[in-house]
Amino acid sequence: MTNNILPVFETVEFLRVVHYGEGKKGKFAVAIVKRDQNEYTTLFPQEDFPFEKLQLIQEGQIIKVKPSQGGLRARLKDQDIKLIAQNTEDIAIEVCHLKDKVDGLENRQSERFDHLEKVVNQLKTLIVWWDEHKDE
């Protein structure tokens, strides 16, 4: 007698789709998902999770899965709208952080350029002064 150990979690982090195929029951996709530090494969049957919806899932997005004897399975109707909204909000926050970093970088570059321009102008003035006074 063998014991099958099934996962006891229902939310995972989506990583990527690794395979599309067709079997006896129809088309399917297999994706890699992550929970804690472990990676698992998850089945996305075409009839339960249309591929056009699957392609909208971004890497790092949290999705719901159902553990079964055949492994983890995902269905579109099981997805939590609150989780999807949270994922969208998390992405928006990250975009804002990136925008702030880019703005800060642009400001520092502008300050450096202004300082460099000031130093070059001082050097020009010094060279002109030295050229005028070298014969004295």
The secondary structure of the chain as a DSSP string is: --PPPPP---EEEEEEEEEEEEETTEEEEEEEEEETTEEEEEEEETTTS-HHHHTTPPTT-EEE-EEETTEEE--GGG--HHHHHHHHHHHHHHHHHHHHHHHHHHHHHHHHHHHHHHHHHHHHHHHHHHHHHTT-
pLDDT in tens, the chain (136 residues): 566 666 667 788 889 889 888 888 889 999 998 988 888 888 888 888 888 888 878 888 888 888 877 778 887 777 766 666 666 677 778 888 888 888 888 888 888 888 899 999 998 888 888 888 777 6
Q: What's this model's pTM, rounded to 2 decimal places?
A: 0.52
List pLDDT tens digits, range 86-119: 666 777 788 888 888 888 888 888 888 888 999 9
Write down the pLDDT at residue 58. 80
- Note the pLDDT of residue 85: 64
